[in-house]
Amino acid sequence: MLVFPALTTANPCGQPATVITKVQGSTDTSALVGQTVTVEGVLTQDSRQVGGFSGFYLQQANTPADSIRSSALFVYTRHKEGRLGQRLRVTGKVKEHYGLTELVAVSDLQVCGTQALPAPVEMSLPWTRAPENLENMRVRINGPLTITDSHQLTRFGDVSLAAKDPLISTEFMVPGTAALRHAKLASMNTLVLDDGNARRNPPSLNWLPIYSATQPGLAASSLVAGTQVRGLTGVLDYRYGAWRLQPDQIPSLKPPPLPDPAPARPTSANLRVMTLNLHNLFNGDGRGQGFPTSRGAKTEAQYKRQLQRLSTGLTQAGADLLALSELENDGYGSNSTVAQLAASLGPQWRFVVPVNPAMQRDAIRNGLLYRADRVNALGPAQYLSGDGGRPSLTQRFALKSGGLPLRLVSVHLKSKSCRNAKGENAPQDDGQGCYNAVRVKQAKTLHQQLGQLDRGNGLAGTLITGDFNSYSKEQPISELALAGYTSMVAHFHPCTPVRCEHYSYRFKGARGSLDHVLASAALKPRVLSAKVWNINADQPRMADYRSHSSPQPWRSSDHNPLITDIKL
Per-residue pLDDT of the chain (568 residues; tens, 9 = 90+): 344 444 444 558 889 999 999 999 988 899 999 999 999 999 999 999 999 999 999 999 877 656 789 999 999 999 999 999 999 999 999 999 999 999 999 999 999 999 999 999 999 999 988 999 999 999 999 989 999 999 999 999 999 999 999 999 999 999 999 999 999 988 899 999 999 999 999 999 999 999 999 989 889 999 999 999 999 999 999 999 999 999 999 999 999 999 999 999 999 999 999 999 999 999 999 999 999 999 999 999 999 999 999 999 999 999 999 999 999 999 999 999 999 999 999 999 999 999 999 999 999 999 999 999 999 999 999 999 878 789 999 999 999 999 999 999 999 999 999 999 999 999 999 999 999 999 999 999 999 999 888 776 789 999 999 999 999 999 999 999 999 999 999 999 999 999 999 999 999 999 999 999 999 999 999 999 999 999 999 999 999 999 888 899 999 999 999 999 999 9
Cα separation, 226 vs 539, in Å, equals 10
In a domain, 446, yes or no: yes
* Co-location of 385 and 523 in the same domain: yes
- Three-state SS annotation for 71-101: CEEEEECCCCCCCCCEEEEEEEEEEEECCEE
- Per the CB < 8 A criterion, the answer to whether 536 and 556 are in contact is yes
* Final residue before a domain boundary, out of 114, 146, 165: 114
* Co-location of 174 and 245 in the same domain: yes
* Co-location of 405 and 488 in the same domain: yes
Cα separation, 43 vs 318, in Å, equals 60
- Residue 131, preceding bond cis, omega within 30 degrees? no
Burial class (CB in 10 A: 0-12, 13-18, 19+), 422: exposed
In a domain, 1, yes or no: no
* Co-location of 504 and 472 in the same domain: yes
In a domain, 2, yes or no: no
- Per the CB < 8 A criterion, the answer to whether 442 and 389 are in contact is yes
Per the structure, the count of domains in the chain is 3
Q: What is the CATH number of the domain that holds 47?
A: 2.40.50.200
Sign of CA dihedral 226, 227, 232, 238: negative
Q: Give residue 456's pLDDT.
A: 66
Q: Give residue 210's pLDDT.
A: 93
Inter-residue long-range contacts of 143-147, CB under 8 Å, 24+ positions, other chains counted = 143/230, 144/228, 144/229, 144/230, 144/254, 145/191, 145/228, 145/229, 145/232, 146/225, 146/226, 146/227, 146/228, 146/229, 147/223, 147/224, 147/225, 147/226, 147/227, 147/229, 147/253
* Co-location of 199 and 289 in the same domain: no
* Co-location of 194 and 294 in the same domain: no
In a domain, 240, yes or no: yes
* Co-location of 425 and 276 in the same domain: yes
- Per the CB < 8 A criterion, the answer to whether 92 and 105 are in contact is yes
Q: What is the CATH number of the domain that holds 276?
A: 3.60.10.10
In a domain, 266, yes or no: no
In a domain, 75, yes or no: yes
* Co-location of 302 and 160 in the same domain: no
* Co-location of 98 and 155 in the same domain: no
* Co-location of 383 and 502 in the same domain: yes
* Final residue before a domain boundary, out of 84, 114, 144: 114
* Residue 54 domain boundaries: 20-114
Q: Give residue 458's pLDDT.
A: 86
* Final residue before a domain boundary, out of 254, 283, 310: 254
* Co-location of 303 and 423 in the same domain: yes
Cα separation, 226 vs 534, in Å, equals 12
* Co-location of 284 and 241 in the same domain: no
In a domain, 178, yes or no: yes
In a domain, 241, yes or no: yes
